[in-house]
Structure 1
Amino acid sequence: MAKVDNRPYGPLYRAVWRWHFYAGLVTAPFLLILAITGAIYLFNEEINDLSYPHLRFVEAAGMPMPLSHMMAAAEAHLPGAVTTRIDTPDAADRSVQFFMALPEGDSRRVFVDPYQAMVLGDLDYRRTLIGIADQVHGSLMLGETGDAIVELMACWGVVLTVTGLYLWWPADRFRLRGLLVPRLTAGGRALLRDLHGVVGFWSALLILFLILTGLPWATQWGNLLVGVMDATGIGYPASHRGYNAPTSTPTAKQAVGDVPWTLEPTPMPASQAPSGGHSHHQATGPATGPMDGSIGIDRAAAILAENGMEWPYRLSLPRGETGVYLAFTYPGQPQGQRSLYIDQYSGALLREVSYADYGWGAQAVELGVQLHMGNYFGLTNQILMLIPCIGIVVLSITGPWMWWKRRPQGKLGVPKVPGPAKLRNLVLITLGLCALFPLAGASPLAVLVGDRVWTGLTQRKANQIG
């Protein structure tokens, strides 16, 4: 039986290198963008504080005014606007943020001094540095198409990391220079290769963690994860979906938008208008606020306090006739998550759910989300997650740079075509990895077909010349 040649630069090595080359060349620009925008968003609170201190800080002076007074000031600041959400502050010297929907479909955030019910100013979040980074990181500002691209690139990022570790694995495990520490005096392509390999090795696990904890937000992979959790009973508790209250068609994400990941796919409970007192105020769209007969924002805040929910929390106002008041706490440590749904007419508590009620799968995802965003243990967490962002930036630059320096003039410089047996093994390995990521499942086949077609064309051209 012939001995398999798995030595560095042997057939298997060249096969892995070829796939790593293709994936890296295509994904590098996207991964670079995701790493930079992710690094910016890691420090969103600090950047916003430095950029807009006049909007975000106030002088603490006694007890805050009622929320209704603040909301009246915010809505008077933007005539015709409707309040959709209120973010109460987490410190005495912080302002209250009002999320406003404008008549023309635009949106603003209005900042109000809670002690004087005085408007400090407003901004369009989408045009701030953090807002732009947020949109680019999530969808490249291309909507659903961009979301799919981001998911695909993230999935291939996993494949790149795994194949990169294989390519790095040394034949001489006792050689440190160039493997665990770069040879800074090497210069040229050798230095680039060392930087690429060393940085990739030291940051690989954190890069994998960063990608895997970000994928729950992706449409296809996230939906698959939710389906698996629902089927196995390890996600949002089924016992809390109805909670003895009728539900409305939209999910929490559709109705409210920004909610904890576990709440996103859950159906919203519905408010019930009093018998004989049905409002004739018709909803005109998602920006429509509470209906006539609603208990009002101050009573909703009082009910929250009666149920032990104090500031800071995020309070979304009812939208339409069946909308509810939804308040949730969203601390950096998800063990403190708690959500309360209140009927806008009767003030009845329709549903209550906390982190302790989640299945262990949802708890793990929420924990991963907070670690991913650098929230769980403060500055140390932010710095820890900054490391893989820097690693991806270095890898996304040094990889294409190495290719550019080594490629033959006027040619793509693709690594040598592996033999059929090695190609078959590589296909099985790659398809096994990509089977975990549905959106990326078909892309290896597309790459294979494209690779074989390109190879056939170049060989035919070479034969014609010869």
Structure 2
Amino acid sequence: MSVSPPQVDDVPARVSAERWSVVPLLRRLHFYAGVLVAPFLVVAAASGLLYALAPQIDDVLYGDLLRVPSATGAPRPLAEQVTAARTALPEGTVTGVLVAEEPDATTQVVFALPGLAEDYSQTVYVNPHTGQVQGQLTTWFGSTPVTTWLDGLHRHLQLGEPGRLYSELAASWLWVIALGGLVLWLVRQRTARRRVRALVVPEKGAKGVRKTRSWHASVGMWVLLGALFLSATGLTWSTYAGENFTAVLVALNAKAPALDTALPGTNGSGTTGSGAHEQHSTGTSDKTDPVDPATFDRVLTTARGAGLDGPLQLGVAGEPGSAWTAAQVDNTWPVRLDKVAVDPASAAVTARADFADRPLLAKLSSLGIQAHMGRLFGAANQIVLFLLAAGILTLIVLGYRMWWQRRPTRDDRSTPLGAPPARGAWQQLPLWAVIPGPLVLITIGWAIPLLGLSLLAFLVIDGLIGLARRTRQAR
């Protein structure tokens, strides 16, 4: 992978060899993509690096809420824990309970509270062994305030939906820059043996820009697959490319089946779908009457009897005629993400949706998103994401360093930065690339709209600049 501006010192010597080649176009595209998109990648990588450490940050900031001082004695009934949480927050309406698997973890009782923003809840943390309330936080899909803030920083720079364009633009170009840099470096090496060695380890004894370029290529090779993975998974839940991905899943009937929460013999209807944050969602309740706390114990017992082990999210029925839900929320491999709907009156299972029954693409999408968020493989997942982010940041620094090192320094040719590759590279494209080129660009532009639009904008602006310069030279 490479995010650097490609070098131009050897372009004149290779003009004849590249008379009909895609390499000059790749070089020019890689240069401008590296220069213009790298700032977006810096923000995405740096914020992603911080988000990968969110569980540890939570333990430091909220350890007194998330963990109990002493995990001794059998857990108290959920009814008792919910009652204690209600006493601490009498103005709220209970919408769900998160029952943890670890004995030292607190039970999280989730409330809908007037005045909170959409998708936000007030979570009360209860010691399951003593029934005492340890505190409360305003949460977003179960995430603590600091994790919510880091998530928003990574996804949209705390700017809301308009800010999501930055992360989608970075993900849209990351795979193009990565594969383009790989091709350019492979072309640069003359023998297969030299290519393999140059991609694995930096060149010994190299100095100046040659040393920087060698380190850039080697680091890029080590993070290549990870960068492609981050690009692909990031696009699946982006705004525009994500919509197209969802449309493909629907067309292929590959979306995860929704859990039917309608109770038999009633007019109620409803489903609960799946998404990036579904594991924390409990829904909202419009009920004005208080929920019977004993119902949580009945639903929990039924869910355990139905084979749902591990941490469970219990959700109160969102409307009359609907069932309660119990969903596994263990995103660590091997995942436990089965769900059941439970009749609160009879404590009978009315429907279920198991992870094993999801289509393959739905499974891969879910697992990919969890790995992207650093949850799938626990601490190992976090370490890999941390190294990937650090590697991408290193590549960007090396890329800009090469650009600086390639600047002319003679008194009569001194410039602040290196020159870009020559314009007009598209004229050197071979026929086999010219004929399918427009169709490929249209397809990519449809699937990844921000990539297509930004590429089109670059071509138009670059063409206008070239036309203006030719007109000025002619005069």
Which TM-score tier does this pair reach, normalised by the shorter chain?
0.7 to 0.9
CA contact (8 A) 2:98 2:311 kept: yes
Q: Distance in 2 between matches of 1:430 and 1:233?
A: 27
Change (3 A) 1:316 1:32: farther
Change (3 A) 1:463 1:248: farther
CA contact (8 A) 2:256 2:273 kept: no
Shift of residue 251 of structure 1?
A: 5.8
> Is the aligned partner of 1:417 residue 2:423?
yes
Equivalent residue number for residue 42 of structure 1: 52
CA contact (8 A) 1:431 1:444 kept: no
Give the 5 Å matches for 1:43-442.
Answer: 43-58=53-68, 59-106=70-117, 107-125=121-139, 128-169=145-186, 170-173=188-191, 174-175=193-194, 179-183=199-203, 186=206, 188-237=208-257, 248=269, 252=273, 258-259=277-278, 286=284, 288=286, 296-321=295-320, 324-331=323-330, 332-333=332-333, 335-343=335-343, 347-406=347-406, 409=415, 413-422=419-428, 425=433, 428=438, 433-442=444-453
TM-score, normalised to structure 2's length? 0.78
Where 1:52 maps in the other structure, the secondary structure is helix
Shift of residue 324 of structure 1?
A: 4.2
Q: Distance in 2 between matches of 1:90 and 1:75?
A: 22
Change (3 A) 1:347 1:451: farther
Change (3 A) 1:112 1:103: same
Change (3 A) 1:162 1:462: same
Shift of residue 32 of structure 1?
A: 1.9
Shift of residue 206 of structure 1?
A: 1.7
Equivalent residue number for residue 33 of structure 2: 23
Change (3 A) 1:304 1:145: same
Percentage identity across paired residues of the two chains: 29
- Residues 67-76 or 16-25, more deviating: 67-76
Q: Distance in 2 between matches of 1:353 and 1:137?
A: 31
Where 1:341 maps in the other structure, the secondary structure is strand
Shift of residue 357 of structure 1?
A: 1.1
Shift of residue 105 of structure 1?
A: 1.3
Q: Deviations over 1:19-74 (max 9, x none)?
A: 11222223212222222232333343233223332222211222212223222333
CA contact (8 A) 1:84 1:289 kept: no
Shift of residue 375 of structure 1?
A: 3.4
Supply the AA of the counterpart residue of 1:206.
G
Change (3 A) 1:312 1:155: same
Where 1:175 maps in the other structure, the secondary structure is helix
Q: Distance in 1 between matches of 2:168 and 2:158?
A: 14
Provide structure 2 residue ranges, at least 5 long, that are not aligned to the other structure. Answer: 1-13, 408-413
Provide structure 1 residue ranges, at least 5 long, that are not aligned to the other structure. Answer: 269-284
Aligned length: 438
